[in-house]
């Protein structure tokens, strides 16, 4: 009797091991959960959910967020995320992912934000469609939206959706415009300078010193301007009173800028990012699904962002 029991048990165990080799994992010790990558300089997080969806949260150079996602297949030794198959092992709270090209180490971290918090979808309050808003940095004077169009500035009236507006002809080419409460400031793409413009007739009131780089975005914080250039130049803080550079944000050089509610907002990889200063830190990011954004402006209450042919009024935190 004992012999029969031993044989039956042994056969059962052997059969169980054989069946489980490629069986998807369902126990609690496995890959499911949140993991913080420790083997790379850029911030990166993996989230594996029990419904077999996965998310990779990325923050490139500490300034630009994006999300990769899809359906995954998990076995006891491998995870298939669709385009890549990883071999994995878990020792305590440490995860190791390997394939023929790469090795990644990560630690379990339940405090990682959900994918819906990493990049949010803002409420769209209004939109204005035009044939061409270009790809420059826009601004708001509190009532109107100003759009740079090469040698012209276009004044758009949101409350009437008037995109015919008023054009100013400029004696220089510009990609960025900003409002300081009384006047417009545009960058001169030929001279590496920003110029103060009379909003009534487009005349030039003041010309800055030559700046370290060509300008892609301008934001006014109430007293100074933040000017974003081209990689690898940083974003500079310019004081118009002393006509000098007074500060910079190393490693930060993105496109359109706006300042509002004590934070710097900017466009990176076609999405909106909100950052605190001193020290610089990304607070959150926003995307309008299916839309690549170029310009951003704060009207005192809400934000306006632009695609090549649409202005969107959005509610941001």
The average pLDDT across 19-41 equals: 70
Q: Is residue 271 over pLDDT 70? A: yes
Coil, helix or strand at residue 2: helix
State the chain's mean pLDDT as an integer: 87
pLDDT of residue 167: 78
Sheet of 217-220: strand order equals 217-220, 225-228, 235-239, 244-249
- Model pTM score: 0.84
Q: What is the pLDDT of residues 85-129, one digit of tens each?
A: 999 999 999 999 999 999 999 999 999 999 999 999 999 999 998
Sheet of 119-120: strand order equals 119-120, 281-286, 271-276, 263-268, 257-260
DSSP state of 137: B
Q: What is the pLDDT of residues 139-150, one digit of tens each?
A: 999 999 999 988
Q: Is residue 15 over pLDDT 90? A: no
pLDDT of residue 10: 35
Q: Which fold has domain 121-315?
A: Methylamine Dehydrogenase; Chain H (2.130.10)
Is 2-119's fold the same as 121-315's?
A: no
pLDDT of residue 3: 39
Q: How far apart are CA 47 and CA 57, in angstroms?
A: 8
Query: In DSSP terms, which residues pair with 264 in a beta bridge?
Result: 259, 275
Looking only at the bridges linking them, the beta strands covering 257-260 and 244-249 are unpaired
Q: For residue 123, how many other CB atoms are within 10 A of its CB?
A: 10
Look up the CATH number of domain 2-119: 2.40.128.50
Q: What is the pLDDT of residues 209-253, one digit of tens each?
A: 999 888 989 999 999 999 998 777 889 999 999 999 999 987 676
Residue whose C-alpha is closest to residue 299's, from 62, 128, 151: 128
The full set of domain ranges for the chain reads 2-119, 121-315
For the ranges 18-32, 33-47, 171-185, 195-209, which has the lowest average pLDDT?
Answer: 18-32
pLDDT of residue 163: 61
């Amino acid at each position: 009797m004992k012999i029969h029991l031993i044989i039956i048990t042994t056969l059962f165990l052997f059969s169980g091991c054989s069946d489980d080799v490629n069986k998807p994992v369902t126990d609690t010790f496995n890959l499911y959960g949140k993991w913080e990558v420790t083997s790379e300089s850029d911030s990166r997080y993996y989230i594996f959910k029990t419904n077999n969806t996965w998310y990779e949260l990325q923050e490139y150079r500490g300034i630009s967020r994006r999300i990769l996602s899809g359906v995954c297949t998990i076995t006891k030794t491998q995870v298939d995320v669709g385009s890549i198959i990883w071999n994995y092992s878990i020792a305590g709270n440490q995860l190791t992912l390997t394939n023929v090209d790469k090795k990644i180490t990560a630690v379990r971290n339940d405090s990682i934000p959900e994918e819906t918090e990493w990049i949010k979808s803002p409420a769209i309050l209004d939109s204005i469609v035009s044939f061409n808003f270009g790809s420059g940095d826009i601004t708001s004077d509190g009532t109107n939206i100003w759009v740079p169009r090469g040698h012209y500035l276009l004044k758009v009236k949101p409350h009437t959706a008037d995109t015919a507006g008023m054009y100013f002809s400029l004696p220089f080419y510009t990609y960025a415009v900003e409002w300081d409460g009384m006047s417009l400031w545009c960058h001169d793409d030929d001279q590496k300078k920003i110029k103060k413009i009379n909003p009534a007739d487009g005349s030039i009131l003041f010309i800055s010193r030559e700046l370290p780089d060509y300008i892609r975005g301008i934001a006014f914080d109430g007293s100074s301007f933040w000017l974003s250039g081209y990689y690898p130049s940083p974003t500079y803080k310019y004081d118009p009173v002393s006509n000098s550079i007074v500060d910079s944000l190393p490693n930060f050089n993105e496109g359109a800028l706006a300042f509002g509610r004590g934070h710097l907002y900017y466009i990176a990889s076609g999405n909106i990012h909100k950052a605190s200063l001193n020290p610089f830190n990304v607070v959150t990011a926003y995307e309008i699904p299916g839309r690549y954004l170029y310009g951003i402006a704060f009207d005192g209450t809400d934000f306006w962002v632009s695609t090549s042919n649409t202005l969107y009024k959005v509610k941001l935190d």
